[in-house]
Amino acid sequence: MTTVDIRVPATSANLGPGFDALGLALSLHDDVEATLTGERGVHVSVEGEGAGEVDTGEGHLVVRAMRAAFARMGVPQPEGIRLRCHNRIPHARGLGSSSAAVCAGILAARALAGAEFSDDAVFALATEMEGHPDNVAPCLAGGLTVAWSDHSELPRMVKLAPDQRIRPVVVVPSARLSTEAARGLLPKDVPHKDASFNAGRAALLIAALTQRPERELLLAATEDRLHQPYRAPAMRQSADLVERLRAVGVPAVVSGAGPTVLAFSTSDTQDLIAPEVGNDWHIQQMDVDPFGANVQFPETR
C-alpha cells in the first residue's frame, strides 16, 4: 500500500471588491490521508465537517478529483482507494471547502502516481473542476493571491505576502448557502461607474493588505458594488452583520459567496467585533496561511 497525507487550507475569496480574482489562505485546515490499497473498491471515512452527509464512495469530491487527475496524467486508474478525511472547514459557508477537497484530491493523485504533472497543470485542473480560480489559487499557494485567465484561457496567479499585522476574523453562521445559488443572483451587466469603483477599491486593497493595513484604508478598500449588494437578499443576516461592523469602523466583507463574514482585525478594532455578533454565529480569529497545500509521505506504515 502507498499512502500520502495532504493538508489544505480554508480560503476566503473576493475580499470585497476583488470579485473572482482575490483570495486569502487561512489557518484552518482539512487533512486527508489517501491510500492506494491494491484491492477493489473505494472507502471513505469522514470526521468533522460533512460527516454523515457527504458521499463516502466514488462520488466523494476528493475521489472525483483524484480520478480526474489520474486521467489527465494518463495514469491507469487504481482499483482501490481509501481516504481518511478530517474536515475542519465548514461546508457551504464561503470558506473554500470544495476548493480544498479538489486540491487535496489532485495533489494526492500526483504524489501517489509519481508522474510528471506540473504545478501549472494542477492549478489548471483544479480551476476547471471548481469553475473559478479565486479559491483554488490561495489553497495551493498560500498567502494572498491574484488570479486571472490569460488569452489561452489558462488560469494564472500571482502570490503576494500580506503584512504580518493582518489578522482575519471569520464569523460563521449556522445557515448554509451554495455558491451556485449565490452566483445565480448576479446580474449579467453592471453600470460602468460600479465597475470603475471596484477596480479602484481592489487596487487599494492590495496596497492596504501588503503595505498599510490601517483601519481607514482597509475600510475604504473593502467596499464593493459588484456582488455583495445583489446577494444580500439571500443572506440577510450576513449582509446586516457586515453593515453593522462597518458602521463601527471594522473592515468587513462577505467571505466568498457567503454566508460567512470576514473581518480584518486591527489593533483599534479587535474589541469592536464581538459586540455586533449574536449567539447564532461562531467567531474565530485566524492567521494567514503563508504556505498553502502541504503534501507529505508518512515515514512508516
Residues comprising the binding site for ATP? 90-100
Annotated binding site: which residue ranges?
90-100
> What distance in Å separates the CA atoms of residue 140 and residue 219, rounded to the nearest whole number?
28
- Partners of 278 in beta bridges: none
Q: Give the Å distances, CA to CA, from 123 to 127, 142, 222, 294.
A: 6, 13, 27, 14
For 211, phi then psi, to 5°, come to -130, -40
H or E element: which one contains 70? helix 61-73
Which helix (H) or strand (E) segment holds residue 252: the answer is: strand 252-254
Altogether, the residues listed in the chain come to a count of: 301
For residue 193, give the DSSP letter.
Answer: H
Q: Using CA atoms, how far apart are residues 169 and 151, in angstroms rounded to an integer?
A: 36
Q: Long-range CB contacts (< 8 A, 24+ apart) of 155-162?
A: 155/123, 155/124, 155/127, 157/123, 157/133, 160/206, 160/209, 160/210, 161/210, 161/290, 162/24, 162/209, 162/210, 162/213, 162/288
Q: What's the CA gap between 30 and 17, in Å, rounded?
A: 27
> What is the bridge-based pairing of β-strands 281-285 and 167-173?
antiparallel
* Cell numbers that stand for 133 in this block: 480560480
Distances (CA, A) of 12 to 73, 111, 139, 239: 29, 26, 9, 16
